[in-house]
Chain A
Amino acid sequence: MSNPILTLSHLTKRFDELLVLDDLSLTVHEGEVVVIVGPSGCGKSTLLRCMNALEEIQGGEIRLHGELVSKSSKNLTELRQKIGMVFQSYDLFPHLTVLENIVLAPMKVQKRSREDASKEAMALLARVGLEEKAASYPRQLSGGQKQRVAIVRALCMHPEILLFDEVTAALDPEMVREVLDVILRLADQGKTMLIVTHEMQFARAVADRIILLEAGRIQEEGTPEEFFDSPKTERAKKFLQTFTFERKRLEQPQSQN
Chain B
Amino acid sequence: MNWTVIRQYLPLYRKAAGLTVRIGLLGIAAAILIGLFCTAVQRSRIPVFRQLVSAYIELSRNTPLLVQLFFLYYGLPKIGVPTNAVACGIAGLAFLGGSYMAEAFRSGVEAIDIIQEESAYSLGLSRGQTLRYVIFPQAFSVSVPAFVANVIFLLKETSVFSAISLMDLMFTAKDLIGLYYKTTESLFLLVVFYLLILLPISLLGTLLERRTRHAGFGT
Contact = CB atoms under 8 A, between A and B. Distances in A.
Chains A, B in direct contact (C-beta < 8 Å): yes
Contacts of A139: 216-219
A90 B129 contact: no
A81 B124 contact: yes
Interface residues of B, number: 23
Nearest to A54: B118
Contacts of A210: none
A153 B122 CA distance: 11
Contacts of B218: 90, 94, 139
Interface in B48-99: none
A206 interface: no
Please classify the interface of chain B as helix (H, G, I), strand (E, B), loop, or mixed, using the class held by over half of its residues. Answer: helix
Contact of B123 (A49, A81, A137): A81
Interface stretch (B100-108, B133-141, B153-161): B133-141
Interface in A88-118: 90-91, 93-95, 104-105, 108-110
Nearest to A107: B133
A91 B121 contact: no
Nearest to B122: A85
Contact of A90 (B113, B120, B134, B138): B113
Interface in B182-219: 215-219
Interface centre among A80, A143, A154 (most CB of B within 10 A): A80
Contacts of A78: 124
A19 to B, nearest CB: 23
A85 B116 CA distance: 13
A167 interface: no
Contacts of A77: 124-126
A236 B218 CA distance: 38
Contacts of B134: 93
A77 B124 CA distance: 4
Interface string A121-155: 00000000000000001010001000000100110
B122 A84 contact: yes
A155 to B, nearest CB: 11
B124 A87 contact: no
Contacts of B124: 77-78, 80-81, 105, 109-110, 157
Contact of A54 (B122, B133, B141): B122
Nearest to B134: A93
Interface string B130-169: 0001100110010000000000000000000000000000
A124 to B, nearest CB: 15
Contacts of A108: 125, 129, 133
Given A110-B124, A139-B219, A154-B122, 17 more contacts: A77-B126, A80-B124, A84-B122, A87-B119, A90-B113, A90-B115, A90-B219, A91-B118, A93-B116, A94-B218, A109-B123, A109-B125, A109-B126, A109-B129, A137-B215, A153-B123, A154-B123
Interface of B: 113, 115-116, 118-126, 129, 133-134, 137-138, 141, 215-219
